[in-house]
């Protein structure tokens, strides 16, 4: 299926690794021009080189997401070099473990790391998105729905992201801009692998988590997240807006009984 993304310019924050890398690769494979925005120059440059060696296109732009002037400058640079912005994928985030004991300053910093830059980037891209009648995809988390414990800042940020998704769908629909969110639950990424190894019994913990995912008792792949993102952002999804799309094997919303019984 041709998704109609050829030559579309796509900003992907945190687009050099994990879920972001899969999203970047998928847009490139559809003939779009993904622009990786992130702080790790080496990872981004390596990914761009690999994508281009496969005959596709990609660009890397350096910015720390909490440095809003740098973020605004990246948007200006992309508009100068590419002439347009069609899609914004707000993927960059960090489950930073800022809990209720951390205090207001830490909580505020967590919102800066995980939510404020999302608003800022879309604000800076707004004129370009209106011109292209573009699309916004926010990458959320199950934590906004389920809670997790010990991560007030991240949970508040992801809950806010869902709220912004629907608020912006209302605000921007009259300009032809669609806004949706894609929600992962348990996805095996390098960051997740590092986290699981910090636990006392990582193999047993991983097996226990896997057993609670209803559909096929397996983790969602980064590619499965990316496939949904690319389709939802594309003209093939032209009447879908304001939606919170859960790509999680039923983890978030199916009855808890489904997470403990043997489905066979």
Give tens-digit pLDDT for 205-241: 899 889 999 999 999 999 999 999 999 999 999 999 9
* In-domain check, residue 193: no
Tell me, what's the pLDDT at 204?
A: 87
15 belongs to a structural domain: yes
Predicted local confidence at residue 54, as pLDDT: 97
Strand order in the sheet with 87-90: 59-62, 33-38, 9-13, 87-90, 135-139, 178-184, 244-247
Q: What is the pTM of this model?
A: 0.95
What confidence score (pLDDT) does residue 198 get?
Answer: 84
Q: Would you list the DSSP string of the chain?
A: ---S-TT-EEEEETTTSHHHHHHHHHHHHTT-EEEEEES-HHHHHHHHHHHHHTT---EEEE--TT-HHHHHHHHHHHHHHHS---EEEE---------TTS-HHHHHHHHIIIIIHHHHHHHHHHHHHHHHT-EEEEE--THHHH--SS-HHHHHHHHHHHHHHHHHHHHHGGGT-EEEEEEESSB--HHHHHHHHTSSSHHHHHHHHHHT-TTTTSPBPHHHHHHHHHHHHSGGGTT--S-EEEESTTTTTS-GGGGTS---
In a domain? residue 39: yes
Instruction: Describe the crossing of helices 117-132 and 152-172 by its angle, rounded to 10 degrees.
Output: 20
Quick check: 60 and 36 in contact, CB under 8 A? yes
Residue 154: active-site member: yes
Number of domains into which the chain is organized: 1
Candidate list 56, 154, 192, 246, residue with the active-site label: 154
Residue 197 within any structural domain of the chain: no
Does the residue 201 lie in any domain?
Answer: no
The pLDDT, as a whole number, for residue 264 is 47
Q: Residue 41 pLDDT > 50, yes or no?
A: yes
Structural domain range at position 254: 9-187+221-258
- Residue 195 included in any domain: no
Mean pLDDT is lowest, of 8-12, 95-99, 104-108, 259-263, for: 259-263
pLDDT recorded at residue 191: 80
Percent of the chain, pLDDT > 90?
87
**Domain-embedded: residue 208:** no
| pLDDT exceeds cutoff 50 at 18 | yes
Q: What is the pLDDT of residue 263?
A: 47
Q: What is the mean pLDDT of residues 155-175?
A: 98
Which CATH number fits the domain that encloses residue 76? 3.40.50.720
User: How would residue 131 be classed by pLDDT, with cut points 50, 70 and 90?
Assistant: very high
| 261: confidence class by pLDDT, cuts 50, 70, 90 | low
Question: Using one digit for the tens of pLDDT, what is the confidence trace for 103-125?
Answer: 999 999 999 999 999 999 999 99
Q: List, in order, residues 6 or more apart from 180 with CB less than 8 Å away.
A: 135, 136, 137, 138, 165, 169, 232, 233, 237, 240, 241, 242, 243, 244, 245
* Mean pLDDT value across the chain: 95
- State the distance between the two ends of the chain, measured CA to CA, in whole angstroms: 33
Mean pLDDT within 53-79: 98
- pLDDT value of position 262: 54
């Amino acid at each position: 299926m041709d998704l109609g993304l050829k030559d579309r310019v796509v900003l992907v924050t945190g687009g050099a690794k994990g879920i972001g890398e899969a999203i970047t690769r998928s847009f490139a494979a559809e003939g779009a021009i993904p622009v990786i925005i992130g702080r790790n120059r080496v990872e981004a440059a390596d990914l761009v080189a690999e994508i281009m060696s496969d005959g596709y296109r990609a660009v890397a732009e350096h910015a720390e997401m909490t440095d809003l002037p740098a973020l605004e400058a990246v948007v200006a640079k992309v508009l100068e070099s590419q002439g347009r912005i069609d899609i914004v994928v707000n993927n960059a985030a960090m489950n930073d473990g800022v809990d209720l004991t951390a205090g207001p300053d830490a909580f505020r910093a967590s919102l800066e790391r995980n939510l404020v830059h999302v608003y800022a980037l879309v604000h800076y891209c707004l004129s370009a998105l209106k011109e292209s009648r573009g699309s916004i995809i926010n990458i959320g988390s199950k934590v906004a729905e389920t809670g997790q414990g010990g991560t007030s800042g991240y949970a508040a940020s992801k809950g806010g992201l869902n709220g912004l998704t629907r608020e912006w769908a209302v605000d921007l629909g009259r300009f032809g801009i669609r806004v949706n969110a894609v929600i992962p639950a348990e996805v095996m990424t390098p960051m997740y692998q590092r986290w699981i190894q910090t636990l006392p019994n990582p193999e047993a913990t991983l097996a226990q988590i896997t057993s609670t995912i209803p559909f096929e008792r397996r983790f969602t792949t980064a590619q499965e997240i990316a496939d949904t993102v690319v389709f939802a952002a594309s003209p093939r999804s032209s009447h879908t807006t304001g939606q919170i799309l859960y790509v999680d094997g039923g983890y978030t919303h199916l009855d808890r009984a489904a997470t403990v019984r043997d489905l066979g």
